[in-house]
Amino acid sequence: MRSKKTKFIFVTGGVVSSLGKGLASASIGALLENRGLDITLIKLDPYINVDPGTMSPFQHGEVFVTEDGGETDMDLGHYERFTHARMSRLNNFTSGRIYNAVITKERRGEYLGKTVQVIPHITDEIKASIRQASQDVDVVIVEVGGTVGDIESLPFLEAIRQMRYDVGSQNAVYIHLTLLPYIGAAGEVKTKPTQHSVMKLREIGIQPDFLLCRTDREISRELKDKIAMFCNVDNGNVFTSPDVRSIYELPLELHRQGLDERLAEVLNIWSRAPHLEKWETIVRKIYEPARGEVTVAIVGKYVNLTESYKSLNESLLHGGIANDVRVKLRFVDSQDVETQGPEAMLDGVDAVLVPGGFGVRGTEGKIAAVRYARENKLPFFGICLGLQMAVVEFSRTVLGLKGANSLEFDEHTPHPVVTLMESQVKVQDKGGTMRLGSYACALKAGTVAQKLYAQDNIQERHRHRYEVNNAYRGRLQEAGLVISGHNPELNLVEMIELSDHPYFVGCQFHPEFKSKPFAPHPLFSGFIGAALAQRDSSHGTAPTPPVRA
């Protein structure tokens, strides 16, 4: 039994995809949390994959990893960055996962000879999943992926339709996010796509209580009233989700329009006025940084779709907030580094970051970028594969181990300085079988890592199969590679750095999954701080002093 009377907010989308349901949901969560309410968020995804773990970043964007090792939709990253809610694998359900659970129950005989159908069995499983993730919170925000009208999302929409009857009409509201396109030739904002989208939703049996209209311009009260009338929504329940320069301005914009106040009123929630000072400070530092700008090169494989590095991009922005400096990102395709050389591709940057990735494509370009940063004393940060490429580069160049490589990319390398984890050798299935989730890391005293974290033991999230080969650890350390962090239980390398370099840090885990705008991750704060120092030294100017909020 719940100790609280939980309220449910269901968020759907129409007209087109990529309107920003995830950001809207996260912003609503931030506003309600700042009103003193305990909240959580759930993402329902219509695709048949059990999770996005085996999907290409070009297909799906980033795969977000939770503390308990769930590989989830990238919107869960927005949820964690905007709120204090801690996501788990219970906060993301796909059609594949739901159907898999129902089929497993059927095979066990749990349906007692009944014919298993979408209604009630699939919809009941969806509702049970929502309830399971909704324990002991005041408000649950449930985002339904896809676009109304897609055949894949129908079971999810039917399930949330039923939930209003299950929990009571006073405990559930529907928010529909739509598009208001501006037609330049006519000089008008058109409401017809929104009307048709709501019509389609009502055919399914859901009458939206609120409309959140995506638009690139201010919308008049008259136009909002027209939308309300044609869509059968209260006049005061039509809001806009305008284009903003930073996603972190969206909670402030929705609050300015009174969305959180109206939600609290409709759901009969008593709450305090929100405290949004920290969001105002964040936006100020993004728009008007006191210490200018630094340029960071991200040398990766998926740079043609920046959504592939969503958490990484945001974490670098958070590092800028911590240092009161604007971070300009230069996305560099590692294959271009192979063909054009690092000197041409990395000229003028203040720091180099090599992120994670899978597959051999572009790895030699990453290795070349690591060498360029190491030899030219540019601040360097390697994450997951980035750490592994740094070890390969160091082994080849400093240790002189010709042909050193990762077994992932060269099964016949004479020096497998990066090797498959022992626990991964016999793994056959690809989905959900990597080293996933939170693991401990003990930091070496006196290292850059230990100073940045200001503690000796940390917990960070992982997503990989390959590790630094312990057989080479002694030789690497003798040559000057510092093992600044290790997992004490598995005796695995977690962090590396160089003592004779201004800032050269690598980590096997993914710190970007734990960074927030109001709590920047220390590794990103330190990296951007190093980039700032590099900028000042290269310009021959005195370091700019930090500015406190």
The answer to whether residues 136 and 38 touch, using CB atoms and an 8 Å cutoff, is yes
Name the catalytic one among 338, 501, 512, 521: 512
Tell me whether residue 401 is annotated as binding.
Answer: no
Tell me whether residue 532 is annotated as binding.
Answer: no
Query: What is the Cα 99 distance to its own chain's centre?
Result: 26
Tell me whether residue 224 is annotated as binding.
Answer: no
Tell me whether residue 514 is annotated as binding.
Answer: no
Residues in the chain: 549
Rounded distance between C-alpha atoms, residue 525 and residue 403, angstroms: 35
Tell me whether residue 191 is annotated as binding.
Answer: yes
Tell me whether residue 388 is annotated as binding.
Answer: yes
Question: What is each CA distance from 489 to 27, 441, 463, 492, in whole angstroms?
Answer: 39, 9, 17, 8
Rounded distance between C-alpha atoms, residue 257 and residue 230, angstroms: 21
The answer to whether residues 349 and 298 touch, using CB atoms and an 8 Å cutoff, is no
Active site residue 255: no
Tell me whether residue 386 is annotated as binding.
Answer: yes
Tell me whether residue 467 is annotated as binding.
Answer: no
- Kindly state the tokens that stand for 470: 């312990």
Tell me whether residue 154 is annotated as binding.
Answer: no
Tell me whether residue 260 is annotated as binding.
Answer: no
Rounded distance between C-alpha atoms, residue 184 and residue 209, angstroms: 30
Rounded distance between C-alpha atoms, residue 468 and residue 492, angstroms: 7
Name the catalytic one among 231, 384, 441, 507: 384
Rounded distance between C-alpha atoms, residue 409 and residue 466, angstroms: 11
Amino acid at 408: E
Active site residue 231: no
Active site residue 441: no
Rounded distance between C-alpha atoms, residue 197 and residue 194, angstroms: 5
- Kindly state the tokens that stand for 25: 């949901």
Tell me whether residue 420 is annotated as binding.
Answer: no
Name the catalytic one among 78, 176, 510, 521: 510
Tell me whether residue 366 is annotated as binding.
Answer: no
Q: Characterize the bridge pairing of strands 7-13 and 172-179.
A: parallel
Tell me whether residue 150 is annotated as binding.
Answer: yes
Tell me whether residue 286 is annotated as binding.
Answer: no
Tell me whether residue 424 is annotated as binding.
Answer: no
CB atoms within 10 A of CB 188: 11
The answer to whether residues 458 and 441 touch, using CB atoms and an 8 Å cutoff, is yes
Tell me whether residue 23 is annotated as binding.
Answer: yes
Strands (DSSP E) along 388-491, which ranges?
A: 405-406, 416-420, 435-443, 457-464, 466-468, 481-487
Tell me whether residue 25 is annotated as binding.
Answer: no
Tell me whether residue 51 is annotated as binding.
Answer: no
- Kindly state the tokens that stand for 531: 């980039």
Tell me whether residue 169 is annotated as binding.
Answer: no
Rounded distance between C-alpha atoms, residue 318 and residue 516, angstroms: 7
Tell me whether residue 96 is annotated as binding.
Answer: no
- Kindly state the tokens that stand for 383: 């994450």
Amino acid at 92: N
Tell me the binding residues for CTP.
Answer: 17, 150-152, 190-195, 226
Tell me the binding residues.
Answer: 17-23, 75, 143, 150-152, 190-195, 226, 244, 357, 385-388, 408, 465
Tell me the binding residues for UTP.
Answer: 17, 190-195, 226
Catalytic annotation, residues: 384, 510, 512
Tell me the binding residues for L-glutamine.
Answer: 357, 385-388, 408, 465
